[in-house]
Structure 1
Amino acid sequence: MQVNTRELADILVVELQGEIMGGIDSEKFKNLIYQTIENDVVQLVIDLSRATWMNSSGLGMLISGLTTIRSSGGDLRLANMSERVRRPLEITKLENVFLSYASVEEAVESYQPH
């Protein structure tokens, strides 16, 4: 898994590329979450447009990130999920835990007060 980040309207967009399988990737993701919180950024969008697959450890990684961010008063939202990435969330009923959007732009906009 490769990770790229960029800021968009004070929201950190984290692009995950390749297979999301936990292990070392989980450690890298956890460190990114903690670093983000230390920098007072607690609104994240996870861009999954370039993720090719996700196993149960990858799901655990996302749940852990969500829990950590929410305990700091923020949120983590998903964007651009392919069917291969969405399917494990549906099977485990975790699609109801995350807010997910068709695009990064929609996810970023969802943070704006209406």
Structure 2
Amino acid sequence: MSLAALSEQELKIVRRSMEGALVHLGWDLETRIGVTEEQMPDLLAKWPNVDDSVDNGPECLAINNSLNDLLHGLGISDATAMELTGADRSEMRRVYDKWARARGWSSTGVV
């Protein structure tokens, strides 16, 4: 599980990114993130005890695509990203890259 590579603070940033995607995207969550509005609260309730090892599983999609969308998505300003996650985009990017490397990925992006 690549989440084990993250510190407690880094895990909080990832979780807040998932929460932020849920709040910010609303009805468009499934289209942009790949998980349903019903799945995301279930993942958040289990956090950090989720198995993100399957690339196309809801856990991995929720983490990867939430971070990706908050970093690069249309309609999300730096201020909004900071408000949603409590971290600036450079810190979000660092955590995203660390998580991806722990998975064995050489790059990040929508899966």
TM-score between the two structures when normalised by the length of structure 1:
0.29
User: Which structure has more RCO (C-alpha within 8 Å, separation ≥ 6)?
Assistant: 2
Normalized per residue, the structure richer in helix is 2
